Amino acid sequence: MKSSDIFHACKYTPILLKSRTNDSGVNQYGLRPVNSYDYLNPTNLVNFGRGTAFDNLGVRRSERGQIDSAPSLGGSPVFTQAKLLGLSGDDQLRLCEAETTQLRMCMAKGGSTCERESLLLDACLSKVGHLRRAISQAGSEFNDWFIQNVSDNHTKPFQHRPHDWRHYYAQEKLVREKQQNGHAYGRRPKEFSFGARYVKTEGYGKRPRLPYNK
């Protein structure tokens, strides 16, 4: 999607359709800028990667199966839906386990048709089907709610990597620097060897000092 496409589309849009009154977050050019990041990076309003189209500008999500089609939180995609529903992960829902075990044991023994066990398992599974459908329904409703109310649709900067918090660590370093009379920014105390503070009896102190006091 190029900027020329947008200008072309805007040029040939009838006046009645130019202001999309149904969506306050969208104007006739693309997404409406809401914060300073949108003004610094206006490409973000019309092009968010593969799957970009005029129809999904307001939701900023690609078609399913494409990159950035998952809802996101803090800029990174969210894949926890199946775990929340108990469909995967460690605490997965185990349904009809006793009946399945009985049938498998009967089949392993051999010598009978296992009619009773298979009937029991069928009865259990017929109940479980309704439960499974209700679970998936609740899951899709939750997913829709999450997309509309929580997901930032991959528009926020990441927060899960150490270098996303560089400014935060820099503040800590500035504090240490101020403690040392404005010297030794980002310097760490030299690591003591293990047991050094118990072994030493005289000389320098038993614990690491600020580098400026070296």
Any residues with CB less than 8 A from the CB of 28 and at least 6 apart, and which? 10, 13, 18, 19, 20
Give the end of a domain, one of 114, 133, 156: 156
- 36 assigned to some structural domain: yes
Q: Do 200 and 142 sit in the same domain of this protein?
A: no
Amino acid at 185: Y
Residue 190, pLDDT above cutoff 80? yes
Instruction: Using alpha carbons, select from 69, 95, 67 the residue that is nearest to residue 81.
Output: 69
**187: confidence class by pLDDT, cuts 50, 70, 90:** very high
What is the arithmetic mean of pLDDT over 73-102?
Answer: 88
Domain boundary (69, 89, 118) is at: 69
User: pTM surpassing 0.75?
Assistant: no
- Residues 19, 50: one domain? yes
Q: Are residues 144 and 196 in the same domain?
A: no
Pair (209, 141) in one structural domain: no
Q: How confident is the model at residue 141 (pLDDT cuts 50, 70, 90)?
A: very high
Cα separations (Å) of 107 from 94, 120, 122, 155? 21, 14, 16, 55
Do 83 and 152 fall within a single domain?
yes
My answer on whether 177 and 134 are in the same domain is no
Overall number of domains in the chain: 3
Query: Greater confidence, 47 or 2?
Result: 47
Q: What is the mean pLDDT of residues 30-43?
A: 86
- Do 21 and 64 reside in the same domain of the chain? yes
- Give the model's confidence band at 20: pLDDT under 50 very low, under 70 low, under 90 confident, else very high: low
Parent domain of 115: 79-156
Of 57-61, 80-84, 114-118, 165-169, where does mean pLDDT reach its minimum? 57-61
Do 46 and 114 sit in the same domain of this protein? no
Q: Could you tell me the pLDDT band of residue 193, with boundaries at 50, 70 and 90?
A: confident
Domain-located, residue 74: no
